[in-house]
Amino acid sequence: MRADEVLKAGTTPLTAPPYTRIRRRFTDREYFTVVYRTDPDALRHAVPEPLQVRDDLVRFEVMHMGDVLGFGPYTECGQALPVVFDGEHGEYLHAMYLNSFAGTAAGREGSAYPKGLGEPALRVEGGALIGTLDIGSLRTAVATMAYKYEPLDLEEAKAQITLPTFMVKIVAGYGKRPQVCDLVRTRITDITVHEAWSGPARLQLFEHVMAPLADLPVRAVVAASHVRTDLTLEPVHPVHDYLEEIS
């Protein structure tokens, strides 16, 4: 195999890379989001400098991807935390769990998404939209919302989804010091909101050492939404170099 072919593969195994480096278009992406108040001290502990905590809210979300270029359908869930960076309001992606290895690997290696494997699910049952997360055989999250209870303004739904997002990108080095340790920024673009709903909701988080969602405990549910969209993820770009800060 020639050197240029090694570079073209982008990741290993070289003869069967699990993902390709393309701009991801998501068709029929379904969001179920529950916004809740949490412990302010726990939130400050979870958010890395130089991001600043904006308030005591957490956005728990379950997303079903109807179709994704290069991956096909899969489901993921996680937590996003409201932050401010250089005067810009956005969200810090704290943790994400997927039932797609290719989506997990591409999100972590090719970008900076804090993804791990899990079994999230989204379904409608008994008049309720239900989102769950299982880690192995243990249930770690259950969210419910009255199904299509009240229409949500499409522009408001779009604004919720298109906030800039921040993540930490770490590439391990050959010793203890990483090769890359950056704070990065990205944003959703080219979005079409097909429908949006709000309604009463509940959320339970359960203790699990490999998925510590409950470290940001639910104090009170503030809002919930159910949105169906098509959208594109922009590539990430660095906004802060931790290695430069500590060198």
Catalytic: which of 8, 115, 148, 176?
115
Residue partners of 112: CB distance under 8 A and separation at least 6:
167, 168, 169, 182, 184, 186, 236
Cα gap 119→107, rounded to integer Å:
17
Rounded (10°) CA dihedral 112, 83, 237, 9:
10
Cα 238 from chain centroid (whole Å)? 18
Token output for 117: 């494997």
What is the H or E stretch that residue 82 is in? strand 74-85
Q: Is 115 a residue of the active site?
A: yes
Token output for 74: 């899969």
On whether the CB atoms of residues 141 and 11 are closer than 8 A, the answer is no
Tell me which residues are annotated as active site: 115
